[in-house]
Amino acid sequence: MADHNMPQQVEGGLLDAVNLALHYAMASDDSVVVLGEDVATNGGVFRATVGLKEKFGFKRVMDTPLAEALITGLAVGMASQGLKPVCEIQFMGFIFPAFEHLFCHAARLRNRTRGRMSCPMVLRAPYGGGIHAPEHHSESTEALIAHIPGIRVVVPSSPARAYGLLLAAIRDPDPVVFLEPKRIYRTSKQVINNDGVALPLDRCFTLRQGSDISLISWGACIPDTLLAADVLQQQGIAAEVIDVATIKPLDMHTILSSVVTTGRCVIIHEAARSFAVGAEISAQVSEHCFLNLLAPVQRVGGFDTHMPYFKNEHYYLPNSADIVAAALRTFKES
C-alpha cells in the first residue's frame, strides 16, 4: 500500500532514494524496523534515515550503542522472529565486528534449520572513497562479504536503482548487505518514482549497448565508466556498459553474453585489485569465453594498499582515463 503522505515523484540523489525507499517500506509493512547508531534522533551520519523516527516512532526506529556486533546480533534475532530489520553500520570500515553474527548466524540460518527459518534482514553501510575521509571511512571490502555463502551483496549506482534495489532487499527472505557508494550520494539527481516497485536482485543492468568492448562495473565507478564509453565512442569504439548491481550472486549470463558479442572485456572497480570481485568475473569470462576473446581481459582497480586519507584519495581511485587506457590496450593486443 502506498503512503499517500509521501510525494509520488522526487527529484533527488542516491541518498534521497534510500530515504524514500525506507519510508515506503515502513509505511507499507509494519514488520520493517530500522536500527543503528544515530539513525533515529539524528537521522544517520549521512541523514539517510531523516524523518523516520518522527513518522514511525522510537519502537520502530531505534538508536543503538556504538556496537556493531550488538546491532547485527539484534537484527538476526529480530529477523528470526518475524520482523524485517534494516540495520545501518555507519561506515564500511566499522563493519568487521558485525561479521560474527552476519557470517556465523545470518548467512547460515536457512541452511542450519533445513529451510524451516530464514533471516530477512538488510545491513546497510556507506562504503568506498571519494569524500576526503580519515582512516576506516573509505573501505571497499565487498569481496570479503561476497565470499560467504548465504548472503546477497548489492551495490546501487544511481538514485532510481538504489530505490528499487533497496525495496527488493527489504522484501527478500534472506540476508542482504546493501552497500551504498557515498561518493555518489549527492553527485547526480534524477526523478525517482515513489511507487514501491522493486528492481530485480541477482541481475545486471545493461546501461549502454555496444558491439566492440564490454565495460563491467558497479557502484561509484559507473559514472566514470559511462564517461569512458563516451570517449571511446569518439574514437569509433562502441562500448557496452554493464552495471553488475548484485555482486553476489553474480549474473554471469548477462556478462558472458556481452563478452561473447564484443570479444573484449574491461572490469572496473574501486576495491584493491588483488582478490577482488573483478578477479572472479575475469576468471569466469576466461573459463567460458576463452575462444571468443580477441584480447586478454583487463582489470582497472584500486592499488593493493589502504586508501590514502583526505584529498590524496584521487591518487587511488580509478578514473575515466584509466578505463579508456585499459580499453585501448585490448585493441593493441588483439
Q: In the chain, where are the structural domains located?
A: 9-193, 205-332
Give the CATH class of 9-193: alpha beta
As beta bridge partners, residue 124 has 88, 178
SS3 percent helix, strand, coil of the chain, rounded to 5, is: 40, 20, 40
User: What is the SS3 assignment for 98?
Assistant: helix
Mean of per-residue pLDDT scores for the chain: 95
**Residue 236 neighbours by CB under 8 Å, 6+ apart:** none
> Could you tell me the pLDDT band of residue 333, with boundaries at 50, 70 and 90?
low
pLDDT at site 334: 62
Cell numbers standing for residue 192: 525517482
pLDDT at site 72: 98
**Residue 119 neighbours by CB under 8 Å, 6+ apart:** 76, 79, 80, 105, 106, 107, 109, 110, 174, 175
Residue 290: pLDDT above 80? yes
> Could you tell me the pLDDT band of residue 135, with boundaries at 50, 70 and 90?
confident
pLDDT tens-digit map of 175-200? 999 999 999 999 989 999 999 999 99
> Could you tell me the pLDDT band of residue 13, with boundaries at 50, 70 and 90?
very high
> Could you tell me the pLDDT band of residue 134, with boundaries at 50, 70 and 90?
confident
pLDDT at site 6: 73
pLDDT at site 3: 57
**Which residues are known to be catalytic?**
137
pLDDT at site 279: 98
Residue with the larger pLDDT of the pair 120 and 135:
120
pLDDT tens-digit map of 227-271? 999 999 999 999 999 999 999 999 999 999 999 999 999 999 999
Q: Are 174 and 150 in contact (CB under 8 A)?
A: yes
pLDDT at site 1: 44
Strands (E), 94-189: 122-127, 152-154, 176-181
Residue 4: pLDDT above 60? no
CA gap 108, 252 in Å, rounded: 24
Q: Are 266 and 327 in contact (CB under 8 A)?
A: yes
CA gap 146, 140 in Å, rounded: 12
* CA quadruple 193, 84, 49, 63: dihedral, nearest 10: 170
Residue with the larger pLDDT of the pair 5 and 60:
60
Name the architecture of domain 205-332. Answer: 3-Layer(aba) Sandwich (3.40)
Strands (E), 103-235: 122-127, 152-154, 176-181, 190-193, 205-208, 213-217
Residue 292: pLDDT above 70? yes
Residue 7: pLDDT above 50? yes
Domains 9-193 and 205-332 share a fold: yes
Residue 79 exposed, middle or buried by CB count within 10 Å (0-12, 13-18, 19+): buried
pTM above 0.85, yes or no: yes
Cell numbers standing for residue 173: 527472505
Q: What is the mean pLDDT of residues 312-323?
A: 94
* CA quadruple 124, 191, 245, 140: dihedral, nearest 10: -50
Nearest to 169 by CA among 110, 108, 121: 121
